[in-house]
Structure 1
Amino acid sequence: MTVGRRPWEDGADFAIGLRPVAPEAWLEGGEADPAARKDPLFAAARDLVWAETPGSREGQAEVLALVEDALGPGQRRGDLPPLYAAARRTPDDLCLMQKLDGQWRLTALSLSAGTFFTAAEVVGRSLGELHGPVEGFSERFLVRVQRIFEGLRPGLVLERRNWTIVNSAELHTPRSAPIRARIGEIAPTDAGQALQIRVERQTLRRLPETGGAVFTIRVHLAPLASVAEEPERLAAFALAWRDATPAFRAYKGFVLYDGLVEAFLREHGA
């Protein structure tokens, strides 16, 4: 996979950063058979990758209809929850948000490429609870994010990207501890290949029939070495890494990788 755009150029602090994209660009594609990756996880580790709340099936079915509109009809399996039937058609993870008792809550999700969290840990949570680990989220962003959800109109697709550094080339990373425990095994000269830039492309759109919203997450991975392919790309990454705010660095775990990343940047003259 390739990173494509440079999300670190948008800043090195938390930001909402949503932009409208054309509805036909909602799902990027690029994976020949997502079900071949997702189905084994769904069968063997369901609590990690799937969760739903009672009463969410109608909204799930609307997400499936949107995915079929975008990708064409697929062979439906009646034994599958509708949201998972939709998720196995696309590389993206799919999250259903519904407004319950005045709060937007995550009521169902298929999470085959979660970044250090599991489906069982987050299902049922409100927007504020989902972003609790982000320092200052409630004060800085919660009201704005709630307004975005309230103001979504049918047909509008919003997109954002965020990024981090990890020492794993796996898409399915439900736990951080076993990955970060291996950081000490990496030689500084190997940092360019051992470390990965993990980029999440996220989208948000309204479900016009049920009133909910679908949030998608598509993960792209590329070796850190890829930023050295272009001087401008390397310079932008170096600036973002070094100028990241303390809260952003703490949340992303950057301090764990500082020595390796700085060794890589010095090696390439950044």
Structure 2
Amino acid sequence: MTALPHSPWAEAGGDFTIGLRPIPEAAWLEGGEAEPAGRKDRLLRRHPELVWGERPGSRTAQAEALELVRAAVGAAAADGQPPLLAAARAVPDDLCLMEKVDGAWRLTALSLCAPSFFTAADALGKSLAELHDPVDGFSSRFLRRVERIFDALRPGLILERRNWTVVNSGELFTPHAAPIRARIADIRPQDAGRILHLRVERQTLRRLPRTDGALFTIRIWRAPLESLAGEPERLAAFARAWRTARPDFRNYKGFASYDTLVEAFLRAQGESYSVNGV
């Protein structure tokens, strides 16, 4: 069983953090998928409004994003496609173009083929504040800091952050939460480790020097919860993060729906501490 390359629950625990750190350009895109274009093309044919969107006037910045991706991985020319879409077909990551419009950073184009409960139609044109409105406490705790990071982002600097959740699906394409969470009641506790999955987002942010936009990437990694069984340190860190997560973090992630199942898995692995601390 392949282990996840990142374990953000061990780094940030069960809380929202900005957690941005600089990385070298050589580490920008992680790869790890042989043919991302095939997967993304199928989704574009079936669900175009869910996985792709662009606003008028964004093509110039899209073209600059394509240049950066081409320099990193050898992406093909656009060949009549929107440039950001061509760039996204060359990498496993979802690509989001942010531009400052009327004083606010807004999402002006995106390819979104591994969404975590949102869609391109939902997100296109929204500001940073609007995009993060569902996150409890984001406006009061983080919004101004994130806006300053976007404003101050200098060319050549690439920032990375990671976050995590648990969901009862191993699929990459999860635009809607309701049909997935409707199946939680059917999961037997003894099957929790196999059916519940850790879903890790690795995100990067970099400036587009000529157009002054910003390119935000999202790479999804996932593995069944039982993948932690052979990694005692990662398992213990996950148990601590799960059991000590802040209420706003738990609420946003929907952890209450999984408590019984996750605790059954943890106890089966020898982590015999209950969610109530007993």
State the superposition RMSD in angstroms: 0.9
Do 2:77 and 2:86's aligned partners in 1 also have CA atoms closer than 8 Å?
Answer: no
Task: Provide the residue aligned with 1:191 in structure 2.
Answer: 192
Do 1:206 and 1:213's aligned partners in 2 also have CA atoms closer than 8 Å?
Answer: yes
Aligned-residue sequence identity (percent) comes to: 65
Task: Provide the residue aligned with 2:149 in structure 1.
Answer: 148
Paired residues for 1:217-232 under 5 Å: 217-232=218-233
Residue 18 of structure 2, aligned match among 16, 28, 33: 16
- The normalised TM-score by structure 1 is 0.98
Task: Provide the residue aligned with 1:178 in structure 2.
Answer: 179
Paired residues for 1:234-245 under 5 Å: 234-245=235-246
Worse-superposed segment, 205-214 or 40-49 = 40-49
CA deviation map 1:198-223 (0-9, x unaligned): 00000000000100000000000101
CA deviation map 1:242-266 (0-9, x unaligned): 0001100000000010000000001
Residue 31 of structure 1, aligned match among 16, 30, 33: 33
Separation in 1, partners of 2:94, 2:78: 18
Number of matched pairs: 269
Separation in 2, partners of 1:170, 1:6: 19
Residue 43 of structure 1, aligned match among 33, 42, 45: 45
- Is the partner of 1:108 in helix, strand or coil? strand
Sort the Cα spacing of 1:259 and 1:267 in 2 relative to 1 into closer, same or farther, 3 A.
Answer: same
CA deviation map 1:115-173 (0-9, x unaligned): 00000001000000000011111111011001100111111110000000011111000
- The runs of 5 or more residues in structure 1 that have no matched partner are none
Sort the Cα spacing of 1:147 and 1:75 in 2 relative to 1 into closer, same or farther, 3 A.
Answer: closer
Which amino acid counterpart does residue 19 of structure 2 have in structure 1?
A: G
Q: Which runs of 4+ in 1 moved over 6 A?
A: none
Task: Provide the residue aligned with 1:100 in structure 2.
Answer: 101
- The normalised TM-score by structure 2 is 0.95
CA-CA distance at 1:75 after TM superposition: 4.7
* Residue 262 (structure 2) pairs with residue 257 (structure 1): no
- Is the partner of 1:20 in helix, strand or coil? strand
Separation in 2, partners of 1:253, 1:185: 17
CA-CA distance at 1:229 after TM superposition: 1.2
Do 1:163 and 1:197's aligned partners in 2 also have CA atoms closer than 8 Å?
Answer: yes
CA-CA distance at 1:5 after TM superposition: 2.3
Separation in 2, partners of 1:169, 1:75: 32
Sort the Cα spacing of 1:239 and 1:73 in 2 relative to 1 into closer, same or farther, 3 A.
Answer: closer
- The runs of 5 or more residues in structure 2 that have no matched partner are 272-278
Which amino acid counterpart does residue 60 of structure 1 have in structure 2?
A: Q
Do 1:114 and 1:174's aligned partners in 2 also have CA atoms closer than 8 Å?
Answer: yes
Do 1:167 and 1:194's aligned partners in 2 also have CA atoms closer than 8 Å?
Answer: yes
Separation in 2, partners of 1:268, 1:260: 13
Task: Provide the residue aligned with 1:126 in structure 2.
Answer: 127
- Is the partner of 1:229 in helix, strand or coil? coil
CA deviation map 1:178-211 (0-9, x unaligned): 1011111111001001000000000000000100
Separation in 2, partners of 1:191, 1:33: 30
Sort the Cα spacing of 1:74 and 1:58 in 2 relative to 1 into closer, same or farther, 3 A.
Answer: same
- Is the partner of 1:61 in helix, strand or coil? helix
Separation in 1, partners of 2:84, 2:6: 29
Do 2:97 and 2:107's aligned partners in 1 also have CA atoms closer than 8 Å?
Answer: yes
Which amino acid counterpart does residue 56 of structure 1 have in structure 2?
A: S
- Is the partner of 1:43 in helix, strand or coil? helix
CA deviation map 1:65-121 (0-9, x unaligned): 10001012525421x111000000000000000001110000100000000000000
